[in-house]
Amino acid sequence: MSLPKSAFPLLLIATVLAAVPCFADSQVRIVRLSDVQGDVSIDRATGQGYERAIMNLPITQGVKVKTGNGRAELEFEDGSSVRLVPGTVIEVPQLSLRDSGAKLSGVRIQEGTAYFNFLGSKNDEFDISFVREKITLTQAAHIRVRVDDTMAEVGAFKGNVEVEGPSGNVEVSKNHKAVFDLTDQDKYKVARDFEEEPFDAWDKQQDQYRDRYASNSYSSYSPYAYGTSDLNYYGTFSNVPGYGTMWQPYFAGAGWDPFMSGAWAFTSGLGYGWVSGYPWGWTPYHYGSWMYVPMYGWMWQPGGAWMGLNATPVFFNAPATYVPPRLPSFPGPRIVNISNGPRIVQVGNSPTKVQIPNNSAGLGLARGSVPNLSALSHTAVEKGFVDTRVHTPTIGWDHASYGSPSRTGYGVGSASAGHVGAVGHVSSGHSGGGSSHASK
């Protein structure tokens, strides 16, 4: 049974009053740190320098992202992406919005290799800069940019791009590359059929995942396209009598709730905001609300206004015994992690054989690594777990930065690759105020 309409204004007012202050909607954009694997750091332009990055952190103008031996992905509102291989540093000097609604995005690659897949949404502009060169994208393009101490290279997988620089403008067409000599006034050479690099396959795999699971109907439940591939892969939409269109992740039984795994992240001037630890945890925590539906459990209902940086938990119809995540006291650690839920476990010595427990809701499961999650989810709900093989080994990568998959227990990871404070397993029936760890 749904809540009376008269109750929603009161609940909405209470939610707004309790919320962390947020930026005004005008001229402010956030994009998503959509994937974090291994050693990734972020400088959130707060004057505090680099800190450990976690998946689903909001990216704002002025942020820097650095990969050590890890990988990362930034996802923009229309689904465009920037992917960083190990040893890469980028800055996001521009995330602005014209009065017309057109979006201007800028990324500067300081060193390393980055893949840019711009989908070419109408009137949007994407600027890429490196050393003394600049690329302005207004049409769909997919390129790779590599920068080191003595040279820079731009290779085009899709589309034609023009590079502006001190040695003049050069057009790089599909399947061509331009190499710039940084020791000789950035003089360039253009060549055909540039060679494949080790991370090209990873970049291609991520594009295939997005193309397969992206839905053209996202406008019916979200004002933005980003995050929708993850919703379609990790869960399913259904029409629930009395509630309408609702979404629920796979591997979510009666003991699961949407705030079992995540973190409170502090932003100067704004306070703490909630960051979901789940790989699908973007849109359902910035838009709509969570509801506990009898006979179904916790489900996400689209609707309302986009919340932007205000990612405070919004939920209704919670059971009487439910304990929501508690806002940390300030001053305190800049990131306070909460982990009360299970995640995938490696079985034996094979990195491709894993056990997915019920109530894990996809935590620790790499994108597209297992087909037909729906059938596996039914088995896990009935048995408490399901064993399967993954196409992409995830062991050794810290997908959500809340502890790595384990050979011996749920979420018992190692503090590897620059990460600190791996999270241990805590009973999955409790939420909010349980196990946590913090980083400053």
C-alpha to C-alpha distances, 342 to 63, 137, 186, 409, 411, nearest whole angstrom: 31, 42, 52, 9, 6
pLDDT band at residue 260 using 50, 70 and 90 as cut-offs: very high
For the chain, what percent of residues have pLDDT higher than 70?
A: 82
The SS3 of residue 208 is helix
62-89 burial, b at 16+ Cβ within 10 Å, e below that, comes to ebbbbbeebbbbbbbbbbbbbbbbbebb
What number of CA atoms fall less than 13 Å from residue 25's CA on the CB side? 5
Q: Sheet containing 235-240: which strands, arranged edge to edge?
A: 235-240, 244-249, 297-301, 289-293, 315-316
107 has a pLDDT exceeding 60 = yes
Reported as a single tens digit per residue, the pLDDT across 211-248 is: 999 877 777 788 888 999 999 999 999 999 999 999 99
Give the pLDDT mean for 112-117: 98
191 has a pLDDT exceeding 80 = yes
DSSP state of 406: B
At residue 393, the pLDDT reads 52
At residue 18, the pLDDT reads 37
Range in 132-136, 184-188, 416-420 the model is least confident about: 416-420
394, two tokens: 């995830």
Residue type, 283: T
| Four-residue CA torsion sign, 246, 250, 254, 260 | negative
Whether cis (ω within 30° of 0) applies to the bond prior to 4 is: no
Range in 28-37, 306-315, 367-376 the model is least confident about: 306-315
Are 283 and 224 contacting, i.e. CB atoms less than 8 angstroms apart?
A: yes
C-alpha to C-alpha distances, 118 to 76, 142, 156, 339, 367, nearest whole angstrom: 9, 6, 12, 35, 20
DSSP state of 21: P
Are 129 and 116 contacting, i.e. CB atoms less than 8 angstroms apart?
A: no
At residue 327, the pLDDT reads 86
Whole-number average pLDDT of the chain: 82
Give the pLDDT mean for 311-325: 89
Q: How far apart are CA 86 and CA 77, in angstroms?
A: 25
Reported as a single tens digit per residue, the pLDDT across 3-13 is: 444 343 333 33
At residue 333, the pLDDT reads 73
112 phi/psi in degrees, rounded to 5: 95, -155
For the chain, what percent of residues have pLDDT higher than 90?
A: 60
Give the pLDDT mean for 326-345: 82
Parallel, antiparallel or unpaired: strands 335-339 and 436-439: antiparallel
- Domains of the chain (ranges; CATH) run 31-206 (2.60.120.1440)
Are 116 and 145 contacting, i.e. CB atoms less than 8 angstroms apart?
A: yes
432 has a pLDDT exceeding 70 = no
Are 324 and 313 contacting, i.e. CB atoms less than 8 angstroms apart?
A: yes
Q: How far apart are CA 36 and CA 56, in angstroms?
A: 9
Q: Residue written as tokens 């006291």?
A: 329
321 has a pLDDT exceeding 80 = yes
Sequence-distant (6+) residues with CB within 8 A of 248 are 235, 236, 238, 296, 297, 298, 299, 300
Reported as a single tens digit per residue, the pLDDT across 263-296 is: 998 887 778 889 999 999 999 999 999 999 999 9
125 phi/psi in degrees, rounded to 5: -135, 135
pLDDT band at residue 328 using 50, 70 and 90 as cut-offs: confident
421 has a pLDDT exceeding 60 = no
Reported as a single tens digit per residue, the pLDDT across 124-161 is: 999 999 999 999 999 999 999 999 999 999 999 999 99
Q: How far apart are CA 92 and CA 115, in angstroms?
A: 15
Range in 15-24, 63-72, 90-99 the model is least confident about: 15-24
CA angle 214, 202, 130 (to 5 degrees): 95
Reported as a single tens digit per residue, the pLDDT across 377-411 is: 999 999 999 999 987 654 333 443 433 333 323 22
Instruction: Please choose, from the candidates 297, 192, 212, the residue with its C-alpha nearest in 3D space to the C-alpha of residue 254.
Output: 297
